[in-house]
A and B are shown apart, each in its own frame.
Chain A
Amino acid sequence: MNAEHLRDRRPRGSLWRRIGRSITSRDAKHRPRLGAMSTSLLDDLLTDHLDKGYAEAAARRAARAAGTPEPAGPHRRAGLLLALGLLLAGFLLATAYRATASQAPESARARQALIHDVQLGSATSDRLQRQAEQLSARLAAERDAALTTSETGDQVGKQVRQLEAAAALVPVRGPGITVLLGDAAPSGQVDPATGQRIAVPSDDTGRLRDRDLQSVVNALWAAGAEAVSINHERLAPTTTIRAAGEAILVDLFPLSSPYTIEAVGNPDTLLPRFADSAAARRYQSLVGVYGIKFSAHRAADLQLRAATGTDLRYARPLGGTAVVPSGSSSGSPSVGDRSPGASTPTGGTGGTTGNGPGGGP
């Protein structure tokens, strides 16, 4: 670095006076030499990495050394200054490290706690679901045992079983078909920094919506399916398929792609009828257009569990206390036990159970 022109011959004034002089200086020695050095900012950036102050200071020192011998005082002061500066640098590094290290796990920890809560909640829900299934199986067994005692009871039992199957209140198994529906694969873009796939925006056209599932399920019913489930969520006659933000809710249970729709029915008629339906043809063509996943094939043995969330709304036990629908005011003065399970008649043949102090009118 050519710094001879910066030789300091001026008397050492105050800092401000020096700055002022260097700004107002008309002396060619202190003007930046354009042309001789690089004029381009980028060239400067790419070639001159070292602070020019070092070269200037070295030149000043050399000039001073040529004149008078260097005193010992400034040397010690320089060492102290250096130590102080590096102490500061180290402190800054450690502080920044601590700040970054303490920040990142903070959000991760909150996320972890939320995930844990969600998992705990869904585990509880699963456990209660299993318990409900066991209890309803026991209830059905008890009822069947009570009904088989008489001829009419047998008939009523058969009717009840048929109605229950239609209302998706009992688990079923049998042959049928499986329809696979899935969102289009992410467009394959990978974040260059993290290496993770870039999330598909929510308005992406390759995403399935609630009405897609609705039309497929409706086509399956129309093709003669006897029982349908989506991702093992059994569809009852009153089940809704709707959207809530990004998720698709089937009876308040959020589902996500890919969707496996299982339909129990005679596969020999179900599959061709479904494949011939307008919905199936439309999604078949959308496979080529948007890259969604859609396929239907027969399944030898499907097991569908009972639907959830079906409680009695209008039914009343014979002659006994009425089941008051939640939120509605039935005319009955009953203040008895309102839970549907407790008011289920234990026998269809007369013997009713009046539970609660407020009996029938």
Chain B
Amino acid sequence: MIAALAMLAGVVLGLVLEPTVPLWLQPYLPIAVVAALDAVFGGIRARLDGIFDAKVFVISFVSNVLVAALVVFLGDKLGVGGQLSTGVVVVLGIRIFGNAAAIRRHVFRA
């Protein structure tokens, strides 16, 4: 309950405050969002598995976002930014799908 409210508050805050994203940060924002989604789905699954831990969630969330952005940043510097972001998206996408499937099994028992 408190989690859903907090997330809703975050969304509202983001929409109301209209933060301007610096130009140099903009390429990493989509990757960061995908990483955040991965962390969120992982957290939901862990909750359903009964092994959720807030500290693990927050740390995995922050580090996921930072590492994903860092990997893409390094890739940009090395000239393989596009390919690396594709790789990051593929890996995170597979994880999101796997976690979503686990959540589905929990919710629908199917």
Chain A positions within 8 Å of B, measured between CB atoms, are: 45-47, 49-51, 53-58, 61, 77-79, 81-100, 103
Contact = CB atoms under 8 A, between A and B. Distances in A.
Contact of B56 (A46, A54, A103): A54
A92 B13 contact: no
Contacts of A94: 10-15
A41 to B, nearest CB: 10
Contacts of B26: 99, 103
A49 B21 contact: no
B29 interface: yes
Interface string B25-50: 01001101100100110100110011
Interface residues of B, number: 50
A92 B3 contact: no
Contacts of A57: 51, 53, 55-56
B90 to A, nearest CB: 9
Contacts of A46: 94, 98
Chain B at the A interface: SS class: helix
Chain A at the B interface: SS class: helix
Given A90-B13, A93-B11, A95-B14, A50 B6 contact: no
B3 to A, nearest CB: 5
Contact of B42 (A54, A58, A61, A83): A54
6 contacts: A49-B99, A50-B46, A81-B54, A82-B3, A82-B58, A94-B10
Contacts of A100: 30
A331 to B, nearest CB: 62
Nearest to A57: B53
Q: Which 5 pairs between the two chains have the least Cβ-Cβ distance? A: A90-B10, A94-B14, A49-B98, A58-B51, A78-B54
Contacts of B4: 86
Contact of A91 (B13, B57, B102): B13
A300 B56 CA distance: 83
Contacts of A92: 10, 14, 32-33, 36, 65
Given A46-B94, A89-B61, A95 B51 contact: no
Contacts of B78: none
Nearest to B4: A86
